Structure 1
Amino acid sequence: MAAVLERPESKPRVEPALPGRLRGFQSGAREIDDAPMRVHGTLPGWLRGRLLLNGPALWELPKGQYEHWFDGLAMLHGIAINGGAGTARYRSRFQHSEDYLRSIALGAPALGAFDTPKHDRWFTRVISPRNTDNGAVVMARIGEDWISMTETPMVTEFDAATLTTIGRVRFEDDLHIDLMAAHGFTDADGNWWNVGIQLGPKSVYRLFRVAAGTRRREPRGEIRVAQAGYLHAFARSERHALVWECALRAQPLSLRFSGKPYIRAFKWDAGGGSMLHAISLDDGSVRSWALPPIFCFHAVQAWEQGDEILVELITYEDASVVDDLRLQPLRNCAPQQVLPQLVRYRLRPGHSDALPELVAAGVELPQVHPARIGAGAATCMWGSGLDPERRATFLDRTVRLDLRSGERRVWQRPNAVQLEPLFVPRPGSAVEDDGVLLVPTLADGDTGGMIGVLDARSLEGLAMLEAPQVIPFGFHAAFEPAAQSF
């Protein structure tokens, strides 16, 4: 039997009891140590490694609760896959961040969150402001060290094999960063790149790099703006970092002093439009292009074509998606009001405006072959899809999209939620879609979370991995190949 770690701090107040696939938005996940998973179907023999999942898992506490899907206290899930033996094993651990420890001790959200207000006093916010380090969004590597993060500068290291929290990463520099993209990039040499924002009367976006084996953030370029936009990610082409400036703009005084939830200290400014900035990786120089007002979480990719730069973004016409993803409407099956659009922007020298082209609609959480990031254009992508007729109220399909022809292939479980499809390439293959997709999913009748294993080209279902509990709905995943993890 699986060893369930019965720790007092891991027992939430669970409410409400949600039906069917909506259980993924419910607190109650347990810490489980090394449990076997049932394997339905046949795993590819070459698939060996550890699937790492991250996301919120605890929204209700005895004296208070979080308000948004993005807010819950983070849990890591590790799935060790041995395709040759046809086996998989599961474990889970809460991230023991400072926010987690304080919130569990208080019995209520201690440091505030994306859409949950802070509970500290005004004097504390002035003298000693605290940001959450609840790294529920993304996992990445600095060299061989695994880290998790959200949209603050606080980064937490963890052990990928045991999921144990190692502790806060202490950067050895004086770089001033108030906000930071959740999505950085780890390059082929193990260096980690990211973008942070220094807020003030004039705000500054700062591109930085942390070299493998170090803890020093090296500035590589900056952009000065009147008001910074909401920052979740950035893109990278062969020679540039591409930073989009959303029309949802930060109000620095409100972020510092008001005690409002993080996202409520931003204001939609359609009249100010949006911008796309290209920072040269060679010399830090910046070129900028104007866009209509957009809201954007994720990029598909960026690449260079002659003297032009092309960027593909998943955009929204406004920021109403933030409200659509609050817990109450999600738990009540309210449909998402605005569908995402995949837009390709052409950035031309000598022009001040980006030239947009609509590529597709209704897809989010995009993936391309990791070797294509910063190395030329990918020709296909994968993502989670929304029903364009809104008959389903949440992500309910896995999509493969040909970025040249627009051909779309779909894999769909009946009455299920399907989250980000993580692409794992077949070792040694140079073919762009030769590999598998690992898709977290939950259907109405499932007893535990299910991980779909799909052929990445055809979207044929190869296997399903059944977890010993419902895995709460998270956002992003990572894969550690067996040479490192076993």
Structure 2
Amino acid sequence: MSTNMLTIYGKNGSETPEPVAAQVTGSLPAWLQGTLIRNGPGLFSVGSSEYNHWFDGLSLIHSFTFCNGEVTYRSKFLKSETYKRNIKADRIAVSEFGTMIYPDPCKNIFSRTFTHLSNIIPDFTDNNLINIIRYGRDYYASSEVNYMNQIDPGTLETVGRINYRNHIALNLATAHPHYDEQGHTYNVGTALMGPGLPKYVVFKVPADAAVSEKGRDKPALSRVQKVGSIPLRSTLSPSYYHSFGMTENYIIFVEQPFKLDILTLATAYFRGVTWGSCLRFDKDDITLFHVINKKTGKVVKTRFYGDALVVFHHINAFEEDDHLVFDLITYKDSSLYDTFYLQNLRSSSLSESNMSFSPPTCQRFVLPLSAHKESPRGTNLVTLVDTTAQALVQEDGSVFCRPDVIFIGLELPGINYNFNAKKYRYFYGSRVEWSPHPNKIAKVDIVTREHIEWTQDNCFPSEPVFVASPGSVEEDDGVILSSVISPDPNISPFMLILNAKNFEEIARASIPADVHMDLHGLFIPAAAV
């Protein structure tokens, strides 16, 4: 690929604070009414200072509103405390994942050490650049730290900051929660400090969590409920995780050997290393699969495990004939993060001959809930006929899980969320072949193992989002939405609308404004905006 990836990933974005009308070609479905809100890094330098990593960039939120066959676009920087401090100082003043900042060079070494070791876990940035999530009727820009920033989904204004720790003892939490059919939100976080051993915590925020007190609305998070917890396998090395799986009755948590070194993290500032360098992959370790009952909070006692892997995104999970089936996008190592250092994106060595990149692989794991200590040793307990996944009972009664490979070369997966936690057939994602820079989107048929693609020369689509047709029964009855950008100045950025059944383009909306490459987002139906 000859394109300098900085023109896609590392260019400073700009705000379009007032809605602008897109030029629509083709025909938008009359039923498509709502707003797609997207989040991602959008500002990579402040004053003369620059970030080191793409995941460091300041959050730029943008929205595409579909109303009566028309599309409008707007974007605003998240006005986080981090953003405000940086802009006021006219330089990067707050450390991020791959950029460590020393805001007061006049402080001596002892003062800095005392400040950052007084708490074992440092106070992280609130630059919430990963996703848009919902708790109750509140919408938040979210990353993976204890802070979130509430936004107004209609205007994209930043409403204010919230701290998980004011409502539940968490240091970290995912930016990929799950929503059940009743509208309740489930999520997983890590509690590293406080009473009891460090643990992973499953929690729930009820759908009707809006609370008023003395005429003032309280955040939905104030009604948070702890579902259950899992002790860390290693107290000083908690697993990194970006998402988790959920079925009708269970939460599936993957404790992978991609770990956060707490001691390194606690001293990162003092030693002049980044937080990103505190993540380490142990290729000789195993991966544990924890299963938590959503209703009782109890952990299934069977020890399910597999080979070492790295996972960021779960696709879906469901229950079938006393088995838990869950699909992951996995990697053989943690090299993906290194690719997105801006100096690497500048490198001309990112070419087809660069095969060090570990391709994403969709793998299906199957956990037999009937497994117990007396299960026959050496037997495969998976009895489902439509998968080659295995669950082999070991001499100590644990179960080694061998996956079924479904597809290689797809990331940022999405599904028809009406089929979340249910048996499903299709998923969608960004097509990743020889490098981690997707220039296609694809639909994968899990049954036939076939796929179809959309691509256009010199165009880079974002994560595809499925929106179901009203009253639809068939799983792929709906449209795919993806914002597309190009380094070619003759190609305006556009919102792509595909027929989800055949991936044929039914419309596109050309945007007369700058649009940035993003990460994740949420479609909000018109009635909820």
Q: TM-score, normalised by structure 1?
A: 0.90
Which moved further from structure 2: 256-265 or 89-98?
Answer: 256-265
Alignment-derived partner of residue 309 in structure 2:
294
Match of 2:476 in 1: 433
Residue 116 (structure 2) aligns with: 125
**Structure 1 contact 25–472 (Cα < 8 Å) conserved:** no
SS at 2:457 equivalent = coil
Q: 2:401 maps to what in 1?
A: 354
- Tell whether the 8 Å contact from 1:228 to 1:250 is kept in structure 2 after alignment: yes
Q: Using the alignment, how far apart are the partners of 1:393 and 1:147 within structure 2? A: 27
2:5 and 2:346 in contact (8 A); partners too:
no
Give 1:199's aligned amino acid. L
Partner of 2:204: 209
Aligned-partner residue type, residue 242 of structure 1: I
Are residues 232 and 172 of structure 1, via their aligned partners in 2, closer, same or farther at CA, if it must alter by over 3 Å?
A: closer
Q: 1:367 aligns to what?
A: 414
* Post-superposition CA distance 1:87-145 (Å, at most 9, x none): 11111111011111112222333332222224353333233632111111111111221
Letter in 2 for 1:80: T
Residue of structure 2 in register with 1:183 after alignment = 176
Q: Distance in 2 between matches of 1:53 and 1:363?
A: 20
Which residue identity lines up with residue 14 of structure 2 in the other structure? A
2:11 aligns with 26
Q: Deviations over 1:259-304 (max 9, x none)?
A: 2322211222122221111111021122341111111110011111
Alignment of 1:328-477 (within 5 A): 328-332=343-347, 334-335=350-351, 337-348=357-368, 349-350=371-372, 351=393, 352-374=399-421, 376-387=422-433, 390=434, 394-445=437-488, 446-477=490-521
Q: 1:223: how far off?
A: 0.9
Give the distance between the partners of 1:457 and 1:202, measured in 2 at CA.
49
CA RMSD of aligned residues (A): 2.1
Return the alpha-carbon distance in structure 1 between the equivalents of residues 66 and 342 of structure 2. Answer: 32
Corresponding residue for 1:219?
226
Q: Which residue in 2 is equivalent to 1:13?
A: none
Which amino acid counterpart does residue 469 of structure 2 have in structure 1? R
Distance change >3 Å, CA 172–CA 123, structure 1 → 2: closer
In 2, Cα distance between equivalents of 1:21 and 1:196:
33
Aligned residues of 2:357 and 2:436 also touching (Cα < 8 A):
no
Paired with 1:171 and 1:198, the residues of 2 have a C-alpha distance of 11
Deviation at 1:447, TM superposition (A): 4.7
Letter in 2 for 1:290: Y
Secondary structure in 2 aligned to 1:330? helix
Distance in 1 of aligned mates of 2:191 and 2:86: 27
Equivalent of 1:97 in 77, 80, 84 = 80
Structure 1 regions of 5+ residues with no counterpart? 1-17
2:257 and 2:197 map into 1 onto residues whose CA distance is: 16
Counterparts of residues 211-250 of structure 1 (less than 5 Å): 211=206, 212-213=209-210, 214-216=220-222, 217-224=224-231, 225-226=233-234, 227-250=237-260
Q: CA deviation at 1:255?
A: 1.8
Identity of aligned residues (%): 28
Alignment correspondent of 2:134: 141
1:440 positional shift = 1.6
Amino acid at match of 1:89: T
| Counterpart code for 1:95 | L
Query: In the TM superposition, what is the alpha-carbon distance from 1:481 to its structure 2 partner?
Result: 1.2
**Structure 2 CA distance, aligned partners of 1:189 and 1:65?**
44
Q: Which residue of 2 aligns with 1:38?
A: 23
Q: Deviations over 1:379-412 (max 9, x none)?
A: 100100013xx3x761011100011111101111
Which residue of structure 1 aligns with residue 106 of structure 2? none
Query: Aligned with 2:221: secondary structure?
Result: coil
Go from structure 1 to structure 2 and tell me whether the alpha carbon gap of 1:118 and 1:245 turns closer, same or farther (over 3 Å shift): farther
> How far apart in 2 are the matches of 1:20 and 1:253?
35
Unaligned segments of structure 2, at least 5 residues: 104-111, 211-219, 373-392, 394-398
Structure 1 counterpart of 2:157, one-letter code: T
Whole-Å separation in 2 of the counterparts to 1:24 and 1:36: 25
Larger mean Cα displacement after TM superposition, 266-275 or 308-317: 266-275
3-state SS, counterpart of residue 87 of structure 2: helix
Distance apart, 1:31 and its partner CA: 3.4
1:285 aligns with 2:298: yes
1:12 aligned partner:
none
Q: Distance in 1 between the 2:252 and 2:158 partners?
A: 32
